[in-house]
Amino acid sequence: METQTSIKDRILSFFRNNSMTIILVAIIAIFFVLTNGLLLKPLNVTNIILQNSYILILAIGMLILIVLNHIDLSVGSIVAVVGALSGMLMTEMGLPVWLTIIIGLIVGALLGAMQGFWVAYLAVPSFIVTLAGQLLFRGITMIILKGKTIAPLPKSFQVFSSKFVPEFMGPIMGLKTNAVIFGLAAIAMIWISQISSRKKKVAHDIDVESPAKFIAKMSLFTAVIAGFSFLLGSYQGIPIILVILIALTYTYQYVMSRTKMGRHIYAIGGNIKAAVLSGIKAQKITFFAFVNMGFLAAVSGLVFASRLNAATPQAGVSFELDAIAACYIGGASASGGIGKVIGAIIGGLVMAVLNNGMSLMGIGIDYQQAIKGIVLLAAVSLDVYNRRKAAIN
């Protein structure tokens, strides 16, 4: 009986810890069947990446704020401001693309700093500050564009939206070379990192899964990466925006999980009073978290303007809601102190696959919004349930 109870507890623990990944796989499988395989066509997989990259970028920055027990409702408007400013600088003032990108990133960081100052040093609630910022930045966008759309933008600016990593040699077995190399490199890196992590845990007498379970888990990761690489290689190869997104995800995941800064962020979100008493500079970290959010919102704004090939006053509408939803669906806690960058990316992919799958099935936008709302409510309810179970146990 004890053995059966132990196995049951392990299974339940596995599902609690990996619920969103399991749900993502289930959603992919369901829509694969319902769309007669269209969901996982190489062209459609590439489109999912291109169409949702800017939301995933926003989700990374939003995750940090949510862990700190803050929120940013202005990111969609910052996306619009940066896009509008970039369009004006390139088309009306003739600035080169590289200089426009630098200016856009600086402006985004400054807008984030302005809000971070009010939140961190003047103790104004982030909800109020960023709500005001949302209205202010949207108004600035209208002033810059004078209510009009600027299009088209320079072709070289479209590097974020439609360009792929240049191929340096011919196809390998009918697949783009870069995709094959990407797949092999990703598989090698994940094996090396997981084996290294396992050895460290063993050295510190931390329990690890059995060798059979470890090999099974790694084999599953290998199959997923190989399949993803195959789909990309069957079309145009590796989108440049995917490289940027992977670099951002790895960097921020490393910072949040392996550095003192990351530990301080979780400490502040978990209990700010205890964190301050222990010597953590909560105000400074909160300020720079908003600067970082503004910077990533600027990156997202440049990516969106590039994909749209235009600067429009309607850019970024509801982007903040999608980014927030991605974080909560990915396991971030509404109470702060809990959440992972990888989880936010998985949450964003859940939303992306839902949107794409329902669009392929011809489901209207009204039903899509309703379904996404139900998914968000279910994700937050699951978080509350898991926290209560953990408290009881």
Read off the pLDDT of residues 117-155 as tens digits, 9 standing for 90 and up: 999 999 999 999 999 999 999 999 999 999 899 989 998
Q: How far apart are CA 361 and CA 364, in angstroms?
A: 9
Report the pLDDT value the prediction gives residue 171, as an integer from 0 to 100: 83
Taking Cα atoms as reference points, which of 369, 353, 351 lies closest to residue 34?
Answer: 353
In this prediction, residues 230-234 reach a mean pLDDT of 93
Give the pLDDT band of residue 2 (cuts 50, 70, 90): very low
Give the residue carrying structure tokens 């339940």. 12
pLDDT at residue 9 above 80?
no
Cis amide bond preceding 152, omega within 30: yes
Residue/partner pairs of 188-196 with CB below 8 Å, 24 or more apart: 190/218, 190/221, 190/222, 190/225, 191/218, 191/222, 194/218, 194/221
Distances (CA, A) of 95 to 90, 153, 354: 5, 12, 39
Of the pLDDT bands very low, low, confident and very high (cuts 50, 70, 90), residue 277 is very high
Q: What is the pLDDT of residue 249?
A: 94
Give CA–CA dist 351/358, Å, rounded. Answer: 11
Helix locations, 204-281, DSSP H? 211-233, 240-258, 260-270, 272-277
Averaged pLDDT, 272-300? 96
**Choice between 8 and 64, residue whose per-residue pLDDT is larger:** 64
Instruction: Check whether 73 has a pLDDT greater than 90.
Output: yes
pLDDT band at 391 (very low <50, low <70, confident <90, very high): low
Residue 279 CB-density burial (10 A; 0-12 exposed, 13-18 middle, 19+ buried)? exposed
Note whether 230 and 176 are within 8 A (CB). Answer: no
In the predicted structure, residue 265 carries a pLDDT above the cut 90 = yes
> Are 309 and 76 in contact, with CB atoms under 8 Å apart?
no
Q: How many residues does the chain have?
A: 393
Residue type for 322, please?
D
> Considering the chain, what percentage of its residues have pLDDT values greater than 70?
93
The average pLDDT across 234-262 equals: 93
Rama region for 318: left / alpha / beta (φ>0; ψ in -120 to 50; rest): left
Q: Give the DSSP per-residue string, 286-354.
A: HHHHHHHHHHHHHHHHHHHHHHHTSB-TTTTTTHHHHHHHHHHHTT--TTSS---HHHHHHHHHHHHHH
Give the pTM: 0.91
Q: What is the CA radius of gyration of the chain?
A: 22
Mean pLDDT of the chain: 89
CB 159 within 8 A of CB 306: yes
**pLDDT tens string 291-305:** 999 999 999 999 999
Distance of CA 218 to the CA centre of its chain: 23
- Please state the φ and ψ torsions of residue 175, each to the nearest 5 degrees: -110, 150
Q: What is the pLDDT, as a whole number, of residue 168?
A: 82
pLDDT confidence of residue 19: 74
Taking only the tens place, the pLDDT of each residue in 105-117 is: 999 999 999 999 9
